């Protein structure tokens, strides 16, 4: 369900999350519903605004019980530092809002208390180093410089699944002990599903980008290209910064004698970024091609 657009980013409610909010409403927990949705919106607005400032293209954010899941438009990962900043913006806002309301002089109010509690939970929970939580974004960005985005994404998403199973199991145990733990089970199930989807999301983003270009090539019979003459020591991400949907990049590699030693396509450059991370150079890619 579409909620609207904030800072050029489309906000959506996950269908199952929407049903959960309707269930809360039917149980007479209208105030809780407004607090949860308002807190999540504040959290995600922080992500969207900082992404806009840093020129990181986020196509949409889907609201979940534990936060939101961002869908990246075209490329991400060229600048891991930016991904870290965008990821941390949400938890910092949630914790800051909770702290501000906590220290404001006011009479005891159950609604304010719940708002503070949920924002503290939202902020700290999202710092857990597992996808699709914000802490997972940070860890993936750090790992990607060493092992590449594909492996980093799979590892951190696996951590998310393990944590989700732990939360679900804990909820099941509390339920068995006749305690009210339905929220743990719901969050665990959502987290496992989202972590599983996150492990595929980045790959699909790259594939959709390339498929659009291949579709344009098939439809028109040609696609404008941009040839870039580079040296082997050039970072792959430096070249991919120049990519656009309207043309295809061909990297012509020359040595110190200005002799052509190879040519790489945009698809090969993307795959290298995926596998080896943003520190990979063209010489690294040429060596793997043998």
Does the structure show a pLDDT above 50 at 41? yes
- Tens of pLDDT, residue by residue over 93-111, are 999 999 998 888 776 778 8
Q: Which of 206, 201, 198 is nearest to 74 (CA)?
A: 206
CATH of domain 224-289: 3.10.580.10
- Tens of pLDDT, residue by residue over 174-202, are 888 877 777 788 888 888 888 887 776 66
* Residues labelled catalytic: 44
Cβ–Cβ under 8 Å, residues 257 and 280: no
Question: Which of 64-73, 79-88, 115-124, 160-169 bottoms out in mean pLDDT, i.e. has the lowest?
Answer: 64-73
- Tens of pLDDT, residue by residue over 149-159, are 677 888 888 99
Cβ–Cβ under 8 Å, residues 21 and 35: no
Which residues belong to CATH 3.10.580.10 in the chain? 224-289
For residue 133, which phi and psi values (nearest 5 degrees)? -70, 160
Return d(Cα 30, Cα 184) in angstroms, integer. 20
Beta-carbon contacts of 165 under 8 Å, excluding residues fewer than 6 positions away, are 188, 192
Return d(Cα 272, Cα 206) in angstroms, integer. 12
């Amino acid at each position: 369900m579409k909620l609207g657009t904030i800072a050029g980013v489309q906000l959506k409610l996950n269908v199952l999350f929407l049903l959960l909010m309707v269930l809360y409403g039917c149980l007479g927990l209208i105030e809780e519903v407004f607090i949860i949705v308002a807190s999540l919106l504040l959290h995600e607005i922080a992500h969207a605004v900082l992404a806009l400032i840093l020129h990181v293209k986020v196509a949409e954010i889907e609201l979940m019980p534990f936060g939101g899941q961002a869908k990246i438009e075209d490329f991400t990962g060229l600048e891991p530092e930016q991904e870290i900043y965008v990821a941390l913006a949400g938890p910092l806002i949630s914790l800051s809002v909770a702290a501000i309301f906590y220290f404001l002089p006011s009479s005891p109010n159950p609604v304010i208390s719940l708002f503070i509690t949920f924002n503290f939970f939202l902020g700290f929970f999202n710092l857990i180093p597992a996808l699709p939580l914000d802490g997972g974004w940070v860890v993936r960005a750090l790992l990607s410089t060493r092992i590449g985005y594909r492996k980093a994404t799979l590892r951190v998403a696996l951590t998310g699944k393990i944590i989700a199973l732990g939360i679900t199991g804990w909820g099941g145990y509390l339920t068995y002990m006749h305690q009210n733990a339905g929220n743990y089970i719901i969050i665990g199930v959502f987290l496992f599903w989202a972590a599983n989807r996150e492990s595929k999301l980045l790959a699909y983003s790259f594939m959709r980008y390339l498929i659009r270009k291949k579709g344009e090539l098939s439809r028109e019979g040609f696609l404008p290209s941009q040839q870039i003459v580079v040296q082997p020591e050039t970072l792959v991400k430096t070249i991919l910064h120049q990519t656009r949907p309207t043309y295809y990049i061909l990297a012509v590699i020359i040595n110190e004698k200005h002799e052509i030693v190879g040519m790489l396509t945009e698809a090969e450059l993307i795959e290298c970024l995926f596998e080896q991370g943003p520190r990979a150079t063209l010489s690294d890619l040429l060596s793997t091609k043998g």
